[in-house]
Copies of this chain bind each other. A is one copy, B any other.
Amino acid sequence: MTLFDESEYLERLGKTKTRMADAGIDVLVASDPANMNYLTGYDGWSFYVPQCVVVSLDADTPLWIGRGMDVAGARHTTFLPEADIIGYPDHYVQTLARHPMNFVGDMIAERGWGAKTVGVEMDAYYFSARAYAELQKHLPNARFANADLLVNWVRLIKSDAEIVIMRQAGQIANRVMTTAIDRLEPGVRECDAVAAVYQAQMSGTEAFGGDYPAIVPMMPTGEKTSAPHLTWTDAPYENEQMVNLELAACRHRYHCPIARTAYLGKNPPAKLVELAAHTVEGLDLTLAAIKPGMRAEAVEQVWRKHMAKVGLEKESRIGYAMGLNYPPDWGEHTASLRPGDQTVLEPNMTFHMILGMWMDDYGFECSESFRVSGDGCETFADVPRKLFVKA
Q: In A43-73, which residues have CB < 8 Å from any B CB?
A: 43-48, 69-70, 72-73
- B230 & A44 in contact (Cβ 8 Å cutoff): yes
This protein's copies in its complex: 2
- B196 & A77 in contact (Cβ 8 Å cutoff): no
A207 to chain B, nearest CB (A): 9
Q: Which of B123, B211, B228 contacts A129 (CB 8 A)?
A: B123
- Chain B residues near A75 (CB, 8 Å)? 227
- Chain B residues near A70 (CB, 8 Å)? 227-229
Q: Which of B128, B229, B230, B327 contacts A327 (CB 8 A)?
A: B327
- Chain B residues near A191 (CB, 8 Å)? 202-204, 209-210
- Chain B residues near A230 (CB, 8 Å)? 43-44, 73, 76-77
With contacts A70-B227, A199-B195, A202-B192 known, is A329 near B48, CB below 8 A? yes
Q: How far is it, in angstroms, between the C-alpha of A70 and the C-alpha of B211 when the chains are bound?
A: 28
Whether A178 is near chain B, meaning CB under 8 Å from some CB there, is no
- A233 & B209 in contact (Cβ 8 Å cutoff): yes
With contacts A191-B202, A234-B209 known, is A128 near B130, CB below 8 A? no
Q: Which of A212-220, A277-285, A373-381 contacts B (4 or more CB under 8 A)?
A: A212-220
Q: How far is it, in angstroms, between the C-alpha of A48 and the C-alpha of B216 when the chains are bound?
A: 12
Q: Which of B45, B129, B203, B329 contacts A127 (CB 8 A)?
A: B129
Q: How far is it, in angstroms, between the C-alpha of A200 and the C-alpha of B199 when the chains are bound?
A: 9
- Chain B residues near A237 (CB, 8 Å)? none
Whether A154 is near chain B, meaning CB under 8 Å from some CB there, is no
Q: Which of B125, B132, B231 contacts A45 (CB 8 A)?
A: B231
Q: In the complex, what residue of chain B is closest to A128 when comparing beta carbons?
A: B123
A25 to chain B, nearest CB (A): 16
- A203 & B195 in contact (Cβ 8 Å cutoff): yes
- B198 & A229 in contact (Cβ 8 Å cutoff): no
A322 to chain B, nearest CB (A): 13
- Chain B residues near A215 (CB, 8 Å)? 45, 48
- B48 & A328 in contact (Cβ 8 Å cutoff): yes
- Chain B residues near A223 (CB, 8 Å)? 76
Q: How far is it, in angstroms, between the C-alpha of A234 and the C-alpha of B215 when the chains are bound?
A: 21
A2 to chain B, nearest CB (A): 13
- Chain B residues near A240 (CB, 8 Å)? none
Whether A388 is near chain B, meaning CB under 8 Å from some CB there, is no
- Chain B residues near A99 (CB, 8 Å)? 123
Whether A360 is near chain B, meaning CB under 8 Å from some CB there, is no
Whether A306 is near chain B, meaning CB under 8 Å from some CB there, is no
- Chain B residues near A94 (CB, 8 Å)? 333
- Chain B residues near A361 (CB, 8 Å)? none
Q: Name 20 A/B residue pairs within 8 A (Cβ), A-sorted.
A: A43-B231, A45-B215, A48-B125, A48-B328, A69-B229, A72-B226, A76-B230, A99-B123, A122-B133, A123-B129, A129-B129, A129-B131, A130-B146, A132-B132, A192-B203, A192-B209, A195-B202, A198-B198, A198-B201, A209-B232
Question: A residues bordering B, Cβ < 8 Å?
Answer: 43-48, 69-70, 72-73, 75-77, 90, 94, 99, 120, 122-133, 146, 148, 189-192, 194-196, 198-204, 208-212, 215-216, 218, 223-224, 226-234, 315-316, 327-329, 333
